[in-house]
Structure 1
Amino acid sequence: MNFRNWKRSLLGLFVTIIVTVLSFNAWSLFFLRSDIRPKQASNNIQSIGREIHDPYLRSTKLKWIKTAIHLHSNRAWFTPIRNSPEEIQEVYSKNGYQILAFTDYEIVTKLESKKTALIPGYEWGRNLVKRHLTVLGIEEADHDFFPLFAFPENIQWEIDSLQKKGAFVAINHPLLNDSFPLRILEKLSGYNAIEVLSPFGDILTYWDQLLSLGVSSFCMAGDDLHYLPKEEYLKVAKTGFPSLRQIATEWYDEDGESLMRYILLNANSTDKEDILAALKEGNYACVRKMSRVLSDPKVKAFGIRNGAEVFYEFDETPLTVDFIGRNGETLSRSYGQKKGTYRFRPDDLYVRIQAFLPTGLILSNPFYRK
């Protein structure tokens, strides 16, 4: 075969692949979809119910376990220059993390090391708009039937499919490429959490608007780690012939968004089943540190007592603590108080706690009427 024929054959193969992918995505867009309906805010509390859901109701043996969600490694075939799971685990374990969730694209990453507990998971979505989901608690990655683009109805179909398999599902980085604007988020249902604290932007306002519509989603906080900062990586890098990761780190002096966003989880153990149960109950807090080198902000207790009294307690003195309600309204604010309470009013749809401490921000999950 001469060069001209070889080039023509290669071009033909490339065109065939592109046409096949486009055709498959077009088929999936129209046949793999679920109905979605915009939510309507209700001013009638009686129609919603009087019972208040307390995500921290269940007492657990382990309290406020430092947990990292949304970590990427070099295990996916198209991300070979990222850090290895072993390197990530080493760095995170040395910084007090007890549970990790690797969320590589379309693959469940597993490790033999027992330095930390692991919750199986992956990141769903290869579409160009970056409509991604964190999927936790299942052992095999689901196929992505929308490799180039997915409408909200297609995302809803995938969420429904994952929920049937018992997964915990979180909406990832809504502000990245404007992948999940509010007009889409308010139509979707069935997901467990939304990444409120993300390197691509915090969405506290979005979250309050969704909660005000009766979408009772929990918060999520994640580093969306793509590479470790140089200072941390060089502590665990192996000596000898340099890897691609080492070369890239030395050349580009990458900083990385690591060791800053995480959750504090209450669970009976670090077994998969107990972790997944705690996540689905919302029995955790979301944290964003001001800098990875600062000490960790700590919480002692969140909950409800005396029927309708939301309370907080911290070990260290917070700067401010807000009780936030419908449409992001500050219902009550305290300064420099380690303990505080707020009693649900008859017209309160939900209440969440938002605390600024000297080294970071801590969010409770919402207490809401069922």
Structure 2
Amino acid sequence: MNKIIKSIFKFLFKTLIILLLVICFFSSILYLNTTIYNFPESKPFNGNYIHNPYENLPLNTFKGNFHAHSIAWGNLTNGHNTEEEIYDEYNNREYDIIGISNYHKISKYAEGLTDLYVPMYEHGYNIFKSHYLAINSNDVSYLDYPLFQLSSHKQKIIENLKSKNVIIAMAHPKFGGGRTFEDMKRLVNYDLTEVLNHYRISDKYWDEALSSGRLTYIIGNDDTHDIHNEATFKIWNNIFSNTRNIDSILNNLKNGKSYAINSKNGICDNRLISCEIDANDSNVFKIKFENNVDKLEFIGQNGVIKKTIENTDSGTYKFTEDDTYIRVVSRNENSDLYLNPLVRFDGKKIPLNSNLKPTSIFTLTWFFRLSMIALMILLTYLIRKIIKY
């Protein structure tokens, strides 16, 4: 009896080891196209001018959520509601843009229901939740590195998505260990950072990127997988646009003419009216809200709160020589408004992260690829040896 149990245990253990080695072997194939990059220098914003993304604000705003999951892929992924349920519930709450962003699948459900339909999906099937939102995408990319990712692997995915002419939002950087602070200092060529998400608030990661001269603008989303049992309809974006035109709205989102709301109960206490550079002093900006703000926070380099004002509907801030950027958070009882940063620049070229490009390192790239081939040979040898054992 003991021999039978030992034989069964040995067979199961052997099968498990072989299965793990086979998974590693096939995963290694995905790493053969790795590119090792040299990243642009990380340095704080500088210059004698202040770029204000809220200059000449349009009058209209459009309410949008770009991250929600429905039932998809035969219910294999995490989604508990139909596309119809999700669309109807957001539509009933007067959302203008209702994004259904399933994993590697573009929902066409709302295409004929609204003039503000946006094709999108969530990219990523790696174990550490290093995901992206591919916004305004008509094609799905399946390139990913499932078991581990260096900064260069993350950059390769960004480069692949960018080649498809999509707006790239880094999804929930704090969630699941998918990004490190070092990644935030390095990664370039993406457009938005999902700072607000019901799983995690990633403002410290955003500040790490901003403090390193990586200018991306904010996006905030529910990231709901179950509209009835998860925090939903509480995080959204207000995007300025003169016209009800999806290209105009997305362009303004990409260029910072928006802000994100994190509410407790779906109610927003306030609204941004204006943010303007002082005509007499280009280092001073004034911000105004529709209603009184309980607390205004002016946040700068390394996420340091540089100034607070309480119980006011407006506030001013003067850039000091040490200030590289300033972003504002407006806090009220039911909701917080997260605004995009004003940053120093040379007065000519806005230092957008999406304009920064990495360069490939030929020798390290091929060293890594040959190492993967060597690993695959070793795995093949181990699999064969264990089978014969």
Same fold (TM > 0.5): yes
Counterpart position of 1:347:
322
Counterparts of 1:282 and 1:117, CA distance in 2: 19
Tell me how far apart the structure 1 counterparts of residues 338 and 235 of structure 2 sit (CA, whole Å). 11
Alignment RMSD (CA, Å):
2.7
| Preserved CA contact (<8 Å) 1:57 1:303 | yes
TM (norm. structure 2) is 0.76
Q: Secondary structure at the match of 1:263?
A: strand
Relative distance call for 1:123 and 1:343 in structure 2 (3 A) is same
Deviations 1:310-356 (A, max 9, x none): 22211121101111111222222211111122122233100111110
Query: Mapping of 1:328-343 within 5 angstroms?
Result: 328-343=303-318
2:215 aligned residue: 216
For residue 140 of structure 1, give the secondary structure of its aligned residue in structure 2. Answer: coil
Tell me the residue number matched to 2:106.
108
Partners of 2:239 and 2:300 in 1: how far apart? 23
| Counterpart for residue 60 of structure 2 | 63
Match of 1:316 among 271, 280, 291: 291
2:126 aligned partner, one-letter code = N
Identity of aligned residues (%): 24
Summarize the alignment of residues 1-370 of structure 1 with structure 2, pairs less than 5 Å apart.
22-37=24-39, 40-42=42-44, 48-60=46-58, 63-77=60-74, 78-79=76-77, 82-110=80-108, 111-114=110-113, 117-229=116-228, 255-292=229-266, 294-295=267-268, 297-306=270-279, 307-370=282-345
- Aligned pairs, number: 327
The answer to whether the Cα contact below 8 Å between 1:320 and 1:333 also exists between their aligned partners in 2 is yes
Q: Distance in 2 between matches of 1:101 and 1:145?
A: 23
Q: Distance in 1 between matches of 2:339 and 2:298?
A: 10
**CA–CA distance in structure 2, aligned partners of residues 27 and 54 of structure 1:** 46
Secondary structure of 1:277's partner?
A: helix
**Distance in 1 between residues matched to 2:38 and 2:219, nearest whole Å:** 23
Given that residues 196 and 221 in structure 1 are in contact (C-alpha distance below 8 angstroms), is that contact kept between their aligned partners in structure 2?
Answer: yes
The secondary structure found in structure 2 opposite 1:216 is: coil
Question: Which stretch has the larger CA shift, 318-327 or 159-168?
Answer: 159-168
* Ranges in structure 1 where 5+ consecutive residues have no aligned partner: 1-13, 230-254
Change (3 A) 1:109 1:354: same
**1:56 Cα shift?**
1.8
Asked if 1 retains the 8 angstrom alpha-carbon contact of 2:78 and 2:225, the reply is no
Q: Is the 8 A contact 2:173 2:205 kept in 1?
A: no
Q: Which runs of 5+ in 2 are unaligned?
A: 1-15, 346-389
- Please tell me whether Structure 1 or Structure 2 has the larger radius of gyration of its CA atoms: 2
Q: Distance in 2 between matches of 1:22 and 1:202?
A: 33
Q: Equivalents in 1 of 2:72, 2:57: separation in Å?
A: 37
Relative CO higher for 1 or 2, CA cutoff 8 Å, sep ≥ 6? 2
- Return the offset for 1:73: 1.1
Q: 2: distance between equivalents of 1:133 and 1:279? A: 16
Q: Is the 8 A contact 2:60 2:243 kept in 1?
A: no
CA contact (8 A) 1:97 1:116 kept: no
- Contact 2:66–2:100 (Cα < 8 Å) also in 1: yes
Deviates more, 1:102-111 or 1:303-312: 303-312
CA distance in structure 2 between the partners assigned to 1:295 and 1:216 by the alignment: 27
